[in-house]
Amino acid sequence: MADTRTIQTMCPMNCHPTLCGMKVTLEGDQLVSIEGDPDNPDSQGFLCMRGNAAHQIVGNDQR
């Protein structure tokens, strides 16, 4: 069974004045989930539609 880990990072979409904090959960090297980071002082858990849809881009066979 692969290790599951959650990483705090920033949304790369750059559509707001401040970068939104993200919590990304990986199982092995596979993306499991993306959510807003409530511990981020700027975005306070908010994650825009583009950031929320990032999981559809990562690993997409048509990209």
pLDDT digits (tens, 9 = 90+) for 1-19: 689 999 999 988 877 777 8
First to last CA, the chain: 28
As a whole number, the mean pLDDT across the chain is 88
Q: Which architecture characterizes domain 4-57 according to CATH?
A: Single Sheet (2.20)
Instruction: Give the pLDDT confidence score for residue 5 in this predicted structure.
Output: 97
Angle at 33 between CA 2 and CA 57, to 5 degrees: 105
Instruction: Give the pLDDT confidence score for residue 17 in this predicted structure.
Output: 76
Token couple for 55 = 């999981």
Structure-model confidence comparison of residues 5 and 42, the more confident one? 5
Instruction: Give the pLDDT confidence score for residue 1 in this predicted structure.
Output: 66
Query: Is the pLDDT score of 60 beyond 80?
Result: no
20: β partners: none
